[in-house]
Amino acid sequence: MTTLASVRRMLAGVLLLGMSGTTIELLLLKHDEGAIQLVPLVLLVVGMASVCWRLFSGSHVSAVGLRLVMVLFLLAGFAGVYYHYAANVEFQREGDPSLAGRALLWAVLQAKAPPALAPGVMIQLGLIGLAYTYRDKEYD
């Protein structure tokens, strides 16, 4: 097995581990109230299936499918950061209407529920998935 093939397998393992852990965490946090909150859970399940499909089939179609799912991870991650940030802004302003500017930003970023940057894990997983299929000889 070449070094590149070994690195690809490690990336697939990291990706599956990250997706599994994130899925468990979201389920434990009951991140399933409404359609918007189901998006990351559905994507994570589809993502795990896509990685397994890629690992076991090695087909061109599986590489394209995985890349498309990873792009959806990126989009969901950015949308999630926006939604978490907006929810925190609203909550912080309810507690202290005078908050604005840097003070508001700092309060929002330090809020524990919902953590404003937590959806960034979807971005991270998406990038790992894209790295996993980068310059894949079966894909390119």
Spatial CB neighbours of 34, under 8 Å, sequence gap ≥ 6? none
Which pLDDT score is estimated for 140?
45
Which pLDDT score is estimated for 135?
76
Minimal CA–CA distance to 24: which of 56, 2, 5, 48?
48
pLDDT in tens, 82-93: 999 999 999 999
Q: How far apart are CA 107 and CA 87, in angstroms?
A: 12
20: tokens are 């599994």
Minimal CA–CA distance to 56: which of 86, 98, 16, 19?
16
Residue 139 has pLDDT above 60, yes or no: no
CB atoms within 10 A of CB 15: 24
Residue 1 has pLDDT above 80, yes or no: no
pLDDT in tens, 14-65: 999 999 999 999 999 999 999 999 999 999 999 999 999 999 998 889 999 9
The radius of gyration of the chain from alpha carbons, rounded to an integer in Å, stands at: 18
